[in-house]
Amino acid sequence: KSFKQVRRDQENRIYTSMAEINRIRNIGIIAHIDAGKTTTTERMLYYSGTIENPGEVHHGNTVMDYLEQERKRGITIRAATTSFKWRGLNADDFYQINLIDTPGHVDFTAEVERSLRVCDGAIGIFDAMQGVETQTETVWQQSNRFGIPRLGFINKLDRIGADIETTLDSVRNKLNSVPLLVNIPSGEDASFDGIVDLGTMRHYSYLDDLGKMVEVEDCDKDHFAYEKAMFYRDRLIEDLAEIDDTIADKYLEGEFISHIDINNSLRYCLRTKNSVALHCGSALKNRGIQPLLENVVNLLPSPQDTESISGSDVSTGQKIYRFSNPKDKLCAFAFKVVADPIRGLVTFFRVYSGTLKNRTKIMNSKTGRIEKITQLFRMTADEVTNIEELGVGDIGAITGVHNIRSGDTFIQEDDPERIQLSGVSIPPPVFF
Ligand code: GDP
């Protein structure tokens, strides 16, 4: 067997097994057209080893480009989700990252709501030349309602004249959010070759154009980027101290503030203080993607952070809880239904409790109809991987279910408690 085949076998084994709940990250991507959503997603797939070369997944010709209409309108889209495994730069453990698209087009408002609902966190991608643009603003306001912690990626910093402050200002003014800059580029414009993490004061530099060879070193007193990094580090700590008493106390006492303190504070602020952790980079030039992914894992919540979810019984209206636990009864939420030219109706789900199993029967809690899953799968890059089970917190898709609307809740076929998840608007079916 070739190296490639062995790797593919290993990956398949990982993909087809159930992901551990605390290693799952369901992340929405929020971006204005042209900010770099496609390029950033491609680079994430590249660095995770899912695709061989950046740019392999082209615009408009992937399996994920289901929606012909959107293609005609020139809107780049990965129809619903892209899943990949991220091992981290230092860790041995795999994380299951599910990226969920939140189309920024005004026609899709209800769809965006349902997509955001299944996210535990989000990444806003900003064009450094433009800062926050209108579509981002709209989707961002929507995501406020779900209270999900967010990271930002200031993209295109390789462009002459691009600067960080434009985005920081517009995050403050247009999103009414506190911008917390967590890393900076170590070189400017075209010579931008590295990223300094302001918490750890580690410098990531890229030794080749593909950004595959990363050197991580301490950004200490002798390092060329030290002064600039210290300036921004002090600013980050001051910004955190304004909104987080724990940091404020340490700061006033003159105590050293470690990267662990900073990460703890960031996690707290992102969850409760309407703030966003901003990262620098250039997707096109392969800069800053790994540090962004590291913080997806470090700062954004796993589905385990949501202990339970509530809904109401369809017939009695009584409140029902389901726990983020494989032992609880099945509760799965259909957040998107698309017509695929090859597979027919494909329904994207998030499992909130229990386990969704291939070729089993499930009930649509609203209509009471029993449906049989003909195939359960995951979307990975431009491939479809069949799986046997989808565990708590995870996201996947099924075929075989008819008479479904996005926004429907699915339960075990024999469950007398017909839970319908609350706070979900039930819009007309999405048939293109
Ligand atoms: P999307 O519409 O948000 O999916 O944006 P794309 O990823 O398609 O990018 C839009 C355009 O910006 C394309 O021409 C990209 O090549 C370009 N682009 C994306 N990222 C960068 C970057 O980091 N630097 C520069 N200079 N161009 C970029």
- At 297-306, the pLDDT tens digits run 999 999 988 8
Indicate the pLDDT class of residue 6, thresholds 50, 70 and 90: low
The ipTM, to two decimals, is 0.99
17: pLDDT strictly greater than 90:
no
**Residue 204: φ, ψ to 5°:** -100, 115
| 101 against 6, higher pLDDT | 101
Cβ(96) – ligand 1 distance below 6 Å: no
Cβ(75) – ligand 1 distance below 6 Å: no
39 burial (CB, 10 Å; 0-12 / 13-18 / 19+) is buried
What is the atom index within ligand 1 of the atom nearest the CA of 282?
23
Cβ(102) – ligand 1 distance below 6 Å: no
Average pLDDT, the chain: 84
Q: Whose CA is nearest to atom 17 of ligand 1?
A: 36
- Pinpoint the alpha helices (H) of 49-108: 68-72
The DSSP secondary-structure symbol of 47 reads H
Q: How far apart are CA 82 and CA 362, in angstroms?
A: 24
- Give the distance, in angstroms, between the CA of residue 303 and the centroid of all CA atoms in the same chain: 12
What is the atom index within ligand 1 of the atom nearest the CA of 283?
23
Question: CB-side exposure of 113: number of CA atoms within 13 Å?
Answer: 12
Question: Are 151 and 276 in contact, with CB atoms under 8 Å apart?
Answer: yes
CA–centroid distance, 36 to ligand 1, in Å, is 4
What is the atom index within ligand 1 of the atom nearest the CA of 39?
7
pLDDT of residue 384: 77
Q: Whose CA is nearest to atom 24 of ligand 1?
A: 156
Does an H or E element contain 46, and which? Answer: helix 37-47
383: pLDDT strictly greater than 60:
yes
What is the atom index within ligand 1 of the atom nearest the CA of 281?
23
Residue 6 has a CB neighbour count (10 Å cut-off) of 10
CA–centroid distance, 126 to ligand 1, in Å, is 11
Mutation probe of ligand 1 site: the residue of 284, 286, 287 with most atoms within 8 A of C-beta: 284
Cβ(39) – ligand 1 distance below 6 Å: yes
pLDDT of residue 78: 45
63: pLDDT strictly greater than 70:
no
What is the atom index within ligand 1 of the atom nearest the CA of 125?
3
pLDDT of residue 14: 53
Cβ(156) – ligand 1 distance below 6 Å: yes
pLDDT of residue 107: 62
The mean per-residue pLDDT over the stretch 326-343 comes to 86
373: pLDDT strictly greater than 90:
yes
Q: How far apart are CA 31 and CA 309, in angstroms?
A: 28
DSSP 296-352: HHHHSPPGGGS-EEEEEETTT--EEEEESSTTSPPEEEEEEEEEETTTEEEEEEEEE
Residue 165 has a CB neighbour count (10 Å cut-off) of 11
128: pLDDT strictly greater than 90:
yes
What residue ranges in 163-254 does DSSP mark as E strands? Answer: 178-181, 183-185, 194-197, 202-206, 214-218
